Structures are given as structure tokens and as C-alpha cells.
Amino acid sequence: MSRVELLSPEGLRVDGRRPEELRKITSTTAVLSQADGSAYLEHGNTKVLAAVYGPREARHRALVLHDRAILNVEFNVAPFSTGERRRRTKNDKRLLEMASFVKQTFEPVVITTLYPRSQIDIYLQIIQHDGGTLQACINAATMALIDAGIAMTDYVCACTAGWVEREPALDLNHIEESSDTSEVTIAMLPKSGKVTLVQMESRLHVDKLEDVLSLAGKGCKHIHQVIDKTIRDRAEELARKMAV
């Protein structure tokens, strides 16, 4: 069986990372002028744009909740984002599923009771796909929500980890993802350590689960530091400009 060697004898992965190493994360907020909040996040070669509109008047009267806001997540993958060019329909089940994951992740964290009868829209656009789209989307959405000034009890940081050949590895890229590795994505509130999302679509031995989860948790904490710095820098810059 000709398989890509995912872990070299020296213990390095296909892209030269060590097993417990994240890819480089760069992020900015307030990239769109029309949206209430927006963020652009690059996680290695995975690139995501998140836009948040709202809280605003709900578009569908029937869905309005009288005591809190409704969250609406739309997920879109650009045709040029993957290795093989492919246009996806809006009702692609895979995309709808991803959108509902993001929605479920944020529902307990966003303080929706502050915005009754309104709607918060989160639009996620994958610009380039290189593994870990769900984690990148959740992280970008967190930043966009904070940029929009929407109340949340904490950050939500997501990270994936998997079992690559003989040891747990953090933040799998597309090659690792697509060669039958078991992969777990978790979304965590870094301050309290609570987990709002665990997603796994493959089999993983239960003995290995704990290692993988704790590694993913460490990754979340690290991602929190990175995106908190971006948010804080932006907030301080604005505060200085507006402090007259």
C-alpha cells in the first residue's frame, strides 16, 4: 500500500512540524466596512473570512424569539478554495452541517438574552482550504462577533487534534486529514476550560482519546493567546484614537 508517510523517522510531519506544533496563525479584524463585525484568519494555508451582521431586525417574522436573539450561520466554500475546482450548491448537506456546528457552538456563549426579537447573522467564507476548516471558522467567527460588539461570556477557541501513525498530533493539515487519520475538533472556552463542541467523524481508540483531547485543549489555549492579542491590539488602537 503506497501511503504518504505522515510521520518521518525523526518524528516530523509532512509539512515539517513537530506533532505538538500549530501552524502559523495570522488574523485581523474589521476587514469589511459594511458588516458590523468582521475578521480574516489564516491558519496555515487555510484562509477564512467571517462577517457578522446584527443584532438586527429579524428577517423572518415567524422565527423571532421574544426573549432572545436568533443566531443564523451561513457557510460558503469558494469554488477555487480546494485542490479540485468545484462549485457547491447552497444546499450542500455538508455545508449545512458545518453551519449548524458553528451555530451550536456559539449559542451557549453569546448572551442572546440581551438582544430579544433580533437576529445575528454570521457569514463564513472559506477562501482557501487546507484542513481544519471548522476550527478556523469558529475562531474567525469568535473574532468577528467580538468585533461587532456582541456580548459573549468568553472567547470560543477551536482546535483539532488527531492520531497520526503512532502519536497524537495537533492541527492536522489537508494531507493528514485526507489519509484516514482519526481527527477530533473541539471548541473550548479558554478561561473556564468548558467545551462547547466536540466533533469526530472517524474511529479512534478510546485509550488514545484522552491524549488527543488534552492536546487539542492545549492547542485551544494557544490559539486563545494569539487571537486575544489581535483583539486587544485593535481595541487599544481604537481606544487611543477615540480617547480625546
Partner 1 sequence: MSFTFHAPTPRETAESSKGRRGEDMDIDEEFAQIQAKASMKDMAVHVVTPGEVITSDTAFMRGHGTYIEQEKVLSSLAGVVERVNKLISVKPLHTRYTGEIGDVVVGRITEVAQKRWKVDVSARSDAILMLSSVNLPGGVQRRKQESDELQMRNFFMEGDLVVAEVQAFFSDGAYSLHTRSLKYGKLRNGSFISVSPGLVQRCKSHFHSLACGVDVILGLNGYIWVSAHVPQSLDEIDTEQVYSNKNKEDITPVDREAIARVANCIRALAQETMFINDTIISFAYEASLQHKLKDMTKREVMQSIAQEATLAVENMKG
Grid cell for residue 84: 479540485
Does a cis peptide bond (omega within 30 degrees of 0) precede residue 55?
Answer: yes
CB of 114 to partner 1, least distance (A): 9
The answer to whether the beta carbons of residues 135 and 192 sit under 8 Å apart is: no
d(CA 57, CA 59): 6
**Residue showing cell 525523526:** 10
Residue from 77, 144, 148, 158 that binds partner 1 (CB under 8 A)? Answer: 148
Stretch that binds partner 1, among 126-134, 142-150, 167-175, 204-212 (CB under 8 A): 142-150
Cβ–Cβ under 8 Å, residues 137 and 107: no
Among 15-23, 99-107, 149-157, 198-206, which window interacts with partner 1 (CB under 8 A)?
149-157
Binding residue for partner 1 (CB under 8 A) from 146, 158, 164, 197? Answer: 146
Which of 22, 152, 175, 226 binds partner 1 (CB under 8 A)? It is 152
The site map against partner 1 for 202-241 (x = CB under 8 A) is: --------------------------x--xx-xxx-xxxx
Give the dihedral of Cα atoms 91, 95, 98, 102; nearest 10 deg.
Answer: -70
Under the criterion CB under 8 A, does residue 12 sit at the interface with partner 1? no
d(CA 85, CA 88) in angstroms, rounded, equals 10
Minimum CB distance to partner 1 smaller for 56 or for 94: 56
The single-letter code of the amino acid at 142 is T
Instruction: Using CB atoms within 10 Å of the CB of residue 236, give its burial: 0 to 12 exposed, 13 to 18 middle, 19+ buried.
Output: exposed
Contact region for partner 1 (CB under 8 A) — 40-48, 116-124, 162-170, 197-205? Answer: 116-124
Residue ranges binding partner 1 (CB under 8 A): 30, 36-37, 54-57, 66, 69, 111, 115-118, 146-155, 189-192, 228, 231-232, 234-236, 238-244
